[in-house]
Each structure stands twice: as structure tokens, then as C-alpha cells.
């Protein structure tokens, strides 16, 4: 626990330009934002097989010293064990509230992203299959894509999302954004003056939704309806990513679509 943070700490994700999908990009950016907020340097390494390298089968994962840890929750715990925490200043009630909002984001925004990628037929054919299978030759590219699609659709069935229409999913996103907007209010961060892991998670998802080109802009429009949430994304982008952009996903987002800072 007392070991210092190594210079060569690395975060692994899929290839930025041609492969990574919305949900994985959002999760990766959330972890990058969290580590930036902790002032812990990390190099972003893109690998076509990052998903298969991960101990949990999910990206992103970090390689720190001889440890490999995947996903935001376990990474927050790992970083805390090394003496860095963003939520130590919160009382027990605030910590419980923060966890509840993080659950909301994962249950609503992340699930909506997965639904859009793997259950909306137009998006699947035009974006998801070509991107997901892009590093692999035919027919492996299709086999891996269909395998992933089957896995995600099975999950959607298990949680009761399989029968939803796209309109219902977008309505869920709107409700989630409404709840986040009300909690944020006019504060700079969700718990006033200091960012917590909730801020990193919300930024990762909202920024990625706002800067990812999809078939339509319906998803990003839901976020844009809440000016305090878009201002929140701009603030974090400016504070934690401007000038650090060489490796970060915000740089990729800026070149692939548009910056929030216009």
C-alpha cells in the first residue's frame, strides 16, 4: 500500500479511431478522469485485443506495477489502498448517496449505451458490427460481433430491457439526466467544491455521448437539454484534460467529432 505510484502505469482500451464502442469509450474516459482527479499519471495504450487481455473481460483495465485491475469500481478501491481517495471528505450519508447515483448511471446510461449498440438494428449494422470486428479478418470479425451481440442481448433479456423500444430507452436516459441535473444544481461538482468518483463516472458517460457520432443525435440531444450537465462536462474537460491531451480519449473525441468548447 505504501508503494509510490509508478511512472509507467498504463490504462488499456481498444483501438480509438476504428474499434472502440460508445460504452467502452465512456468507461475508459471515466477511469482516466478519476485518475486525473487523483493526480495519478497514466499512459493510455490501445490494443485490438484489450477486452480479451482484461481479467474481467471488460475494459478499461490498468496495469500498475505487477497488478492488473479492471473497471472503475475495483480501480477506485485499488487506488484507495494506495492512499488516494476522492471521497474521504464525505460523511456516511453522502457516501451512500454517491453510491446510489453511481448505480443510477451504470443501470441507466451504461445499459442504454449497450442497448443502442447491440439492440438497435440500424446502429448494429452500420456502426457496431463494422467497428467491433474491425481488427479481425472475415469471418472472424462477424463471428466475434455476433457472439458479443448474443451475450449483450441475453443480459438485456435478464434485466427486462429486451422488450423496450428505442423511445423508452431514450426516456430512461432523460430521467437519469434529469436526476443528475437536479443533484448537481449550480454546484461545480456533485458534492460541492471537490470532485468525487461520481463526477468522473458521470463525465465519462456524458462527454462520450456528447462527442460520439451515432446514426442520429437523439441520445446526445437528451443530455444537451440540461445546460448544467453540459457546462459540467466542459469544466472537467478544461480542468483535467486540456494540456494532458496527448494520450487521452477526449483528444480522440475532439478530432473525431467536435469539442464541447466552442
Cβ-proximal residues to 97 (8 Å cutoff; 6+ apart), any chain: none
Query: Mean of the pLDDT values across residues 255-261?
Result: 42
**Is residue 197 in some structural domain?**
yes
For residue 86, pLDDT over 70 is answered with yes
Q: What is the pLDDT of residue 186?
A: 95
Q: What is the pLDDT of residue 244?
A: 63
**Is residue 230 in some structural domain?**
yes
Least confident among 66-75, 182-191, 252-261? 252-261
Let me know: does 131 contact 19? Beta carbons within 8 Å: yes
Q: What is the pLDDT of residue 260?
A: 42
**Is residue 250 in some structural domain?**
no
Q: pLDDT band for position 249 (50/70/90)?
A: low
> In terms of residue numbers, what domain contains 225?
10-244
Q: What is the CATH number of the domain that holds 52?
A: 1.20.1050
Q: What proportion of the chain, given as a percentage, has pLDDT over 90?
A: 87
* Count of domains forming the chain: 1
**Is residue 14 in some structural domain?**
yes
State the chain's mean pLDDT as an integer.
Answer: 92
**Is residue 253 in some structural domain?**
no
**Is residue 111 in some structural domain?**
yes
Task: Pinpoint the alpha helices (H) of 92-241.
Answer: 92-104, 111-119, 121-123, 129-132, 140-158, 166-184, 197-211, 218-224, 227-236
**Is residue 209 in some structural domain?**
yes
For residue 254, pLDDT over 60 is answered with no
Q: pLDDT band for position 259 (50/70/90)?
A: very low
Q: pLDDT band for position 60 (50/70/90)?
A: very high
Q: What is the pLDDT of residue 139?
A: 95
Cα distances (angstroms) measured from residue 1 to each of 4, 56, 105: 8, 23, 30
**Is residue 254 in some structural domain?**
no
Query: Residue 15, CB half-sphere, CA atoms under 13 Å: how many?
Result: 11
Residue whose entry in the numeric block shows the C-alpha cell 483495465: 61
| pLDDT tens for each residue of 29-55 | 999 999 999 999 999 999 999 999 999
| pLDDT tens for each residue of 144-168 | 999 999 999 999 999 999 999 999 9
Q: pLDDT band for position 2 (50/70/90)?
A: low
For residue 257, pLDDT over 90 is answered with no
For residue 245, pLDDT over 60 is answered with no
For residue 253, pLDDT over 70 is answered with no
Q: What proportion of the chain, given as a percentage, has pLDDT over 70?
A: 92
For residue 94, pLDDT over 60 is answered with yes
For residue 247, pLDDT over 80 is answered with no
CB count within 10 Å of CB 176 equals 22
- Closest-CA residue to 188 (of 225, 236, 247): 236
Judged by DSSP in three states, 90 sits in: coil
Q: What is the pLDDT of residue 242?
A: 83
Amino acid at each position: 500500500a505504501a508503494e509510490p505510484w509508478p511512472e509507467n502505469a498504463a490504462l488499456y482500451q481498444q483501438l480509438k479511431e476504428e474499434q472502440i464502442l460508445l460504452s467502452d469509450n465512456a468507461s475508459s474516459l471515466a477511469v482516466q478522469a478519476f485518475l486525473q482527479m487523483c493526480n495519478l499519471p497514466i499512459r493510455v495504450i490501445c490494443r485490438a485485443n484489450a477486452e480479451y487481455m482484461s481479467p474481467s473481460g471488460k475494459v478499461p483495465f490498468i496495469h500498475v506495477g505487477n497488478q492488473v485491475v479492471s473497471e472503475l469500481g475495483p480501480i477506485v478501491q485499488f487506488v484507495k489502498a494506495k492512499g488516494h481517495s476522492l471521497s474521504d471528505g464525505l460523511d456516511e450519508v453522502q457516501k451512500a448517496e454517491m453510491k446510489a447515483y453511481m448505480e443510477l448511471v451504470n443501470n441507466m446510461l451504461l445499459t442504454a449505451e449497450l442497448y443502442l449498440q447491440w439492440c438497435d438494428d440500424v446502429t448494429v449494422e452500420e456502426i457496431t458490427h463494422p467497428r467491433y470486428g474491425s481488427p479481425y479478418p472475415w469471418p472472424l470479425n462477424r463471428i466475434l460481433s455476433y457472439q458479443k451481440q448474443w451475450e449483450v442481448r441475453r443480459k438485456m433479456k435478464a434485466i427486462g430491457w429486451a422488450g423496450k423500444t428505442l423511445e423508452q430507452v431514450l426516456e430512461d436516459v432523460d430521467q437519469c439526466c434529469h436526476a443528475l441535473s437536479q443533484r448537481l444544481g449550480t454546484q461545480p461538482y456533485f458534492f460541492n467544491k471537490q470532485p468525487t468518483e461520481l463526477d468522473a463516472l458521470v463525465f465519462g458517460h456524458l462527454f462520450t455521448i456528447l462527442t460520439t457520432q451515432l446514426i442520429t443525435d437523439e441520445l446526445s440531444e437528451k443530455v444537451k437539454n440540461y445546460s448544467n450537465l453540459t457546462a459540467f462536462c466542459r469544466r472537467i474537460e478544461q480542468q483535467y484534460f486540456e494540456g494532458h491531451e496527448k494520450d487521452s480519449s477526449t483528444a480522440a473525441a475532439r478530432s473525431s467529432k467536435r469539442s464541447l468548447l466552442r
